[in-house]
Amino acid sequence: MQGSALLRLRNVVKRFGEFTALDNVGLDIQEGEFFTIVGPSGSGKSTLIRLLVGMDDVTEGEIWLRDGRIDQTPANLRPTCMVFQSLALFPHLTVGKNIEFPLKLRKEPPDQRRRRALELLDLLRLPRDYYDKRISQCSGGERQRVALARALAFDPEILFFDEPLSALDYRLRKTLEKELKDLHARTGKTFVYITHSLEEAMVMSDRIAIMKEGRFEQIAVADEIYGRPVTRFVAEFMGEVNLFAVTAGAEGAPASDALDIRTGTSVQGLSAGGYGLLMVRPEYVRFATGGDTYDFTLSGILHGEYALGSRIQYEIELPSGEMVTVEKLREERFEASEGAQVNLGFNTDATHFISEAS
């Protein structure tokens, strides 16, 4: 990450009466970064964006943009920040007039406004003759692009996005995810994006923050969050996962009720007397056939097989009743019937340990 932080939050608290929606949040967003905040419903994402754009006041704490403190600055005097919302377009006006709206507010002359609007149509890969088309005649995806063009016409330092794609169908969403990522690269602007969708976050972002109950659980690049989550919540939020409780005796050797652990296997991060969760993603669990050796082995009953397009997912029930998920590519399909006893295995390099001992 290069440069000093463009946007900084320090000890930000937001309370609604007795309820704490944001609980001492700190954050640094770098210039030019695509930063995404993900979290379940009610975790505080929209509240945070509202504070950043000035639609609501902080209860405590500070928000800094470059060298200036902005938490007490009214929304209309934060020209550097702009929320992109598709529904905020003027449906009775043309695409061109919508895009030019911020330029008109700034009293730019008509020919200059038109030139900029056409440039923005090019940037968003909309045909130039859309300039005279009415918003009401545009499709959902086109409206999203017009809304983006208008947001860019403000020439903000940061663009804030509050779930802009959530109302669109799957294919359009996928297309616009890629377009947003490209647009980010082409404009070099700082994007702050909030979404429920982890997939969306993974496709587009430089860094992801996982929010839970008004706090950040983890802030890191996508691979780090997926492969090395710091808590059970993050591990489970980031997709299908198998978590096994492990403990270490006085000598530090790992033990687990669910797993057979090969002698000499160590779990990095598990110290003598400690405990925690050993994580393995479903794609790293193997069906063990005779002769294979693994650091960790287990067996159970094949409970179900589910086709997920190019992949197949298997649910295996352990004697304890716990379920283990295994995932294979379709061409690597494992032949076994439901109810069969199966052996599974995985190695240390496919695991990550989440310490719960403090």
Ligand X SMILES: Nc1ncnc2c1ncn2[C@@H]1O[C@H](COP(=O)(O)OP(=O)(O)OP(=O)(O)O)[C@@H](O)[C@H]1O
Token representation of residue 339 = 């109810």
User: Are 316 and 303 contacting, i.e. CB atoms less than 8 angstroms apart?
Assistant: yes
User: Are 195 and 38 contacting, i.e. CB atoms less than 8 angstroms apart?
Assistant: yes
Q: Which CB sits closer to ligand X, 19 or 170?
A: 19
194-233 binders of ligand X (CB under 6 A): 196
Whole-angstrom distance, CA of residue 358 vs CA of residue 350 = 24
108-137 binders of ligand X (CB under 6 A): none
Q: How many CB atoms lie within 10 A of CB 55?
A: 13
Q: Which CB sits closer to ligand X, 108 or 163?
A: 163
Q: Which CB sits closer to ligand X, 71 or 100?
A: 71
Site string for ligand X, 162-201 (x = CB under 6 A): ----------------------------------x-----
Packing angle of the helix pair 95-105, 110-123 (nearest 10 deg): 120
**Dihedral over alpha carbons 39, 41, 43, 47 (to 10 degrees):** 110
**Smallest separation (angstroms) from ligand X to the CB of 90:** 25
Burial zone of 280 (CB within 10 Å; 0-12 exposed, 13-18 middle, 19+ buried): buried
Packing angle of the helix pair 140-153, 110-123 (nearest 10 deg): 130
**Smallest separation (angstroms) from ligand X to the CB of 52:** 12
Query: What proportions of the chain, in percent to the nearest 5, are helix, strand and coil?
Result: 30, 35, 35
Measured CA angle at 47 (ends 41, 51), to 5 deg: 160
Q: Which CB sits closer to ligand X, 2 or 41?
A: 41
User: Are 231 and 218 contacting, i.e. CB atoms less than 8 angstroms apart?
Assistant: yes
Q: Which CB sits closer to ligand X, 42 or 110?
A: 42
**Smallest separation (angstroms) from ligand X to the CB of 296:** 36
Q: Which CB sits closer to ligand X, 237 or 244?
A: 237
Q: Residue 158: beta bridge partners?
A: 81, 190
Site string for ligand X, 7-46 (x = CB under 6 A): ---------x--x-x-----------------x-xxxxxx
Token representation of residue 211 = 């929010």
**Smallest separation (angstroms) from ligand X to the CB of 10:** 19
**Smallest separation (angstroms) from ligand X to the CB of 56:** 8
Measured CA angle at 43 (ends 2, 352), to 5 deg: 60
**Smallest separation (angstroms) from ligand X to the CB of 37:** 8
Q: Which CB sits closer to ligand X, 124 or 168?
A: 168
Site string for ligand X, 267-306 (x = CB under 6 A): ----------------------------------------
Q: Which CB sits closer to ligand X, 44 or 300?
A: 44
Query: How many residues interact with ligand X (rule CB under 6 A)?
Result: 12
**Smallest separation (angstroms) from ligand X to the CB of 17:** 7
Tokens 């730019």 correspond to what residue?
108
Q: Which CB sits closer to ligand X, 42 or 269?
A: 42
**If you count them, how many residues does the chain have?**
358
**Smallest separation (angstroms) from ligand X to the CB of 19:** 6
**Smallest separation (angstroms) from ligand X to the CB of 235:** 20
First CA to last CA distance, the chain: 30
Q: Does 47 bind ligand X (CB under 6 A)?
A: yes
User: Are 131 and 117 contacting, i.e. CB atoms less than 8 angstroms apart?
Assistant: yes
Q: Which residues bind ligand X (CB under 6 A)?
A: 16, 19, 21, 39, 41-47, 196
